[in-house]
C-alpha cells in the first residue's frame, strides 16, 4: 500500500474520531498520517518484517489498523466508524501525490510574523520542495493580539522580507503576500481599505464571537462577502469538530452572495478544523461557489494537511475546476485583482 493511500485512510479515521469527541486519539491518527506522507516509508516491507510499530507515533492500536490496511486493503475500524456516523459510503482513497493531481499552491499559511513557527523563506522553500508554484503568506491581523497580528507598518516590513525571499527563490515560484483579516462582529474588517488594497490576497475569517444569533451572524458574513477587497472566506464556520461547534447562519444566502461577488469559500484542511465540512461544501457548490483548498499551516510540516483532506472535496462532489489552487499564478492574480476593477 502506498503512503498516500494509507495516509488517506488514517486521516479519515481521525476525522470520524473528532466527531466522536475523541480528540486525543484523533490527533494520534492525524500525526501518523502526516508522518507517513512526509517520510514515505515502505509499508509493505515494514509489514513483512513485523516492524510497523517502529514508525513514529504508532502504538499497538494504530499498528493493528495499518497491518490490516497493508494486508487487506481495507480497515474494519474505519468501516465501523463510517457506519456509526451514518456515512457508510466508501470514498476512494487518494492514490497519487497532490501536485501530480494538479494542485499548484497553498493560499493560507502563517509564519513567525504572527503565530507560525517558521520564517517566510523557510515556508516558501518547503512549499517549493513540495513542487508548488506559489504560496500565499497570510498572517493574522492586529485584533488577535495574542498572536502578534500585523498592522500596516509590520505588513510593509514583511513585504520587504518577502521580496528578499522571492529574489532568492527565482521566478519559477511566487510568494503572494496576503493577510488573514478578522471579520469583526459587525461584519467590518480588522484593517483599513488602503492596507487591504496593497496586498496580493485577502482572506477574511471569523475567529471571535462565533455563537452569535443566526440573523446577525448572517449579516456579519454577508458584509464580509460583499467587501470589495475580500478574496476568500477562511474556515467559514470556525468550527473545531469534537470541541467547538461552528457559527450558524443562513448558509444558502451567504453562499449565494459569495457566488455572485466571486468571493471564494475556503476548505481549511487543518485536521482540527476541516471547515467547510463536506456537507456544507456540497451546499456551497450547489449555490455556485468556487473554493480554495488550503492547509492553514503554521509550520513547514503542516502543508500535508491538504493531502489529508482532499477526500473531503471528493465527498462534497467538488470538481477541481471549481478550486482555484489548480490555477497557475497568472490566473490567480486575475482572480484576486481588485474588485470592482479600478480605472
Q: What is the 3-state secondary structure (H, E, C) of 228-256?
A: CCCCEECCCCCCECCCECCCCCCHHHHHH
- From the list 54-62, 79-87, 202-210, 331-339, the region that binds Zn ion by CB under 5 A is 202-210
Q: Which of residues 277-296 bind Zn ion (CB under 5 A)?
A: 296
Does 205 help bind Zn ion (rule: CB under 5 A)? yes
Closest distance of CB 139 from Zn ion, Å: 8
| Choice between 5 and 296, CB closer to Zn ion | 296
| Choice between 12 and 180, CB closer to Zn ion | 180
Residue 179: strand pairing partners: 139, 202
Does 270 help bind Zn ion (rule: CB under 5 A)? no
Q: Which three cell numbers mark 10?
A: 488514517
Closest distance of CB 102 from Zn ion, Å: 24
| Choice between 11 and 179, CB closer to Zn ion | 179
Task: With H, G, I as helix, E, B as strand and everything else as coil, classify residue 323.
Answer: strand
* Cα 75 from chain centroid (whole Å): 26
Contact criterion met (CB below 8 Å) for 224 and 187: yes
Q: How many residues bind Zn ion (CB under 5 A)?
A: 3
- From the list 5-13, 149-157, 197-205, 210-218, the region that binds Zn ion by CB under 5 A is 197-205
Q: Which three cell numbers mark 343?
A: 480605472
Q: Which three cell numbers mark 99?
A: 501536485
What number of other Cβ atoms are within 10 A of residue 165's Cβ?
Answer: 20
Closest distance of CB 3 from Zn ion, Å: 26
| Choice between 55 and 212, CB closer to Zn ion | 212
Closest distance of CB 137 from Zn ion, Å: 11
| Choice between 4 and 296, CB closer to Zn ion | 296
Report the distance separating Cα 303 and Cα 134, nearest Å.
13
Q: Strands of 291-294's sheet, edge to edge?
A: 105-109, 134-140, 174-182, 201-205, 232-233, 264-268, 291-294
| Choice between 32 and 126, CB closer to Zn ion | 126
What number of other Cβ atoms are within 10 A of residue 147's Cβ?
Answer: 19
Task: With H, G, I as helix, E, B as strand and everything else as coil, classify residue 314.
Answer: helix
Q: Contact with Zn ion (CB under 5 A): which of 12, 139, 180, 182?
A: 180
Closest distance of CB 43 from Zn ion, Å: 32
| Choice between 205 and 277, CB closer to Zn ion | 205
Closest distance of CB 100 from Zn ion, Å: 26
Sites of contact with Zn ion (CB under 5 A): 180, 205, 296
Amino acid at each position: 500500500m502506498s503512503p498516500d493511500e494509507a495516509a488517506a485512510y488514517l486521516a479519515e479515521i481521525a476525522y470520524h474520531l473528532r466527531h466522536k469527541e475523541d480528540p486525543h486519539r484523533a490527533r494520534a491518527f492525524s500525526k501518523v498520517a502526516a508522518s507517513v506522507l512526509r517520510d514515505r516509508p515502505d509499508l509493505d516491507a515494514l509489514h513483512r518484517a513485523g516492524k510497523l510499530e517502529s514508525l513514529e507515533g504508532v502504538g499497538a492500536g494504530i499498528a493493528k489498523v495499518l497491518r490490516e490496511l497493508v494486508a487487506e486493503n481495507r480497515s474494519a475500524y474505519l468501516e465501523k466508524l463510517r457506519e456509526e456516523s451514518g456515512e457508510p459510503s466508501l470514498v476512494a482513497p487518494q492514490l497519487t501525490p497532490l501536485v501530480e493531481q494538479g494542485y499548484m499552491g497553498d493560499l493560507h499559511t502563517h509564519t513567525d510574523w504572527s503565530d507560525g513557527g517558521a520564517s517566510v523563506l523557510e515556508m516558501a522553500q518547503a512549499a517549493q520542495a513540495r513542487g508548488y508554484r506559489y504560496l500565499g503568506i497570510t498572517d493574522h491581523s492586529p485584533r488577535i493580539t495574542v498572536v502578534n497580528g500585523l498592522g500596516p507598518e509590520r505588513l510593509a516590513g514583511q513585504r520587504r522580507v518577502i521580496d528578499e525571499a522571492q529574489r532568492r527563490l527565482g521566478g519559477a515560484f511566487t510568494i503572494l503576500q496576503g493577510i488573514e483579516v478578522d471579520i469583526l462582529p459587525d461584519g467590518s474588517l480588522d484593517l483599513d481599505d488602503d492596507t487591504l488594497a496593497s496586498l496580493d490576497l485577502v482572506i477574511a475569517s471569523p475567529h471571535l464571537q462565533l455563537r452569535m444569533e443566526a440573523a446577525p451572524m448572517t449579516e456579519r458574513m454577508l458584509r464580509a462577502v460583499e467587501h470589495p477587497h475580500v478574496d476568500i472566506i477562511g474556515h467559514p464556520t470556525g468550527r473545531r469538530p469534537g470541541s467547538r461547534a461552528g457559527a450558524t447562519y443562513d448558509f444558502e444566502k451567504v453562499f449565494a452572495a459569495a457566488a455572485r461577488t466571486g468571493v471564494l469559500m475556503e476548505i481549511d484542511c487543518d485536521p482540527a478544523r476541516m471547515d467547510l465540512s463536506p456537507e456544507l461544501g456540497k451546499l456551497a457548490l450547489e449555490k455556485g461557489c468556487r473554493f480554495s483548498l488550503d492547509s492553514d499551516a503554521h509550520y513547514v510540516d503542516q502543508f500535508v494537511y491538504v493531502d489529508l483532506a482532499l477526500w473531503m472535496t471528493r465527498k462534497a462532489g467538488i470538481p477541481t475546476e471549481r478550486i482555484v489552487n489548480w490555477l497557475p499564478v497568472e490566473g490567480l492574480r486575475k482572480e484576486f485583482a481588485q474588485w470592482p476593477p479600478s480605472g
